[in-house]
Amino acid sequence: MTYRTVLTETRGRVGIVQLNRPQAMNAFNTAMLTELFDALEVFDKDENIGAIIVTGNEKAFAAGADIKEMAQASPFQMITEARVEIWDRIRGIKKPVIAAVSGWALGGGCEFALSCDMIIASESAKFGQPEITIGVIPGAGGTQRLARLLGKQLAMEMVINNRTLTAAEALHFGLVNRVVPVEGYLDAAVAFAEEIAARAPLAVRMAKDSVNAAFETSLTEGLKAEKRNFYPLFSTEDQKEGMQAFIEKRKADWKGR
């Protein structure tokens, strides 16, 4: 697929997708969503890639769904054109996805960042769900993911009263992993992703799947899910290599099998 609304690049084992509609504050129109998920799925299948970054620009990660595109939509169009369901494709990505957020992450932009596995925020990042100000509510997971991450009170305030979180507040409340200077924020995210991309790939995949299980199940079922991912790793060359390398006091040489 030739992309018009996203840019892609690789740095070592890190794949980067940059949202590229700066004239619209990177608002997600259908074209950009389609291209974003295509690019993510291509990186996910590429064995030379160990982690994926999604970023925007310094001023805006993304200002949400494209209001101009959906302003006249009927409910039927919203459903049949999969304008909301398409966002769920992020859940099918097996490799770690890191959002590198600078500037506005609003509406669907905030929701997309939350549905990534980790977030590196620049000092200028601002997270919010302003849908209430245009007569709707979040439709791409915001009510659910914010409530799980932040608890009921703050999630309610963000969704019902358009409370915006600064980068420092987001770090304080556990919404983001790191806050870094605006200048070089993407390089900082790449350094963070490179560390992950250099780890044993199958173990990383099982680790991501296991943590995500915690948000879907009871503790009993979650513990079973963890064990289902733990035991098969003992059939991998990387488990033998990793433990032998520890014993021999050397760096492991991962094969991804």
The one catalytic residue among 107, 108, 128, 141:
108
Spatial distance between the Cα atoms of 95 and 50, rounded to a whole number of angstroms: 7
Spatial distance between the Cα atoms of 43 and 22, rounded to a whole number of angstroms: 23
The one catalytic residue among 56, 111, 121, 155:
111
- What are the strands of the beta sheet with 60-62, ordered from one edge? 60-62, 104-106, 126-128, 165-166
- What are the strands of the beta sheet with 51-55, ordered from one edge? 6-11, 14-19, 51-55, 97-101, 118-122, 178-180
**Range 71-130, binding ligand CAA (CB under 6 A):** 104, 106-108, 111, 130
How many chain residues interact with ligand CAA (CB under 6 A)?
21
- Binding residue for ligand CAA, selected from 42, 67, 78, 223, defined by CB under 6 A: 67
Q: Give the 3-state secondary structure of residue 68.
A: helix
The amino acid that residue 127 corresponds to is: F
Spatial distance between the Cα atoms of 52 and 39, rounded to a whole number of angstroms: 10
**Range 16-55, binding ligand CAA (CB under 6 A):** 24-25, 27
Of the candidates 24, 128, 22, 125, the one whose C-alpha atom is nearest the C-alpha of residue 67 is 24
65 in contact with ligand CAA (CB under 6 A): yes
Residue nearest to ligand CAA (CB): 107
The one catalytic residue among 63, 65, 189, 197:
65
Active site (annotated) includes residue 131: yes
Active site (annotated) includes residue 108: yes
Spatial distance between the Cα atoms of 213 and 206, rounded to a whole number of angstroms: 10
Active site (annotated) includes residue 252: no
Min dist CB 69 to ligand CAA, Å, is 7
186 in contact with ligand CAA (CB under 6 A): no
Which is nearer to ligand CAA, 63 or 121 (by Cβ)? Answer: 63
Min dist CB 158 to ligand CAA, Å, is 12
Q: Which residues are annotated as catalytic?
A: 65, 108, 111, 131
The binding site for ligand CAA (CB under 6 A) comprises 24-25, 27, 63-68, 104, 106-108, 111, 130-131, 134, 138-140, 142
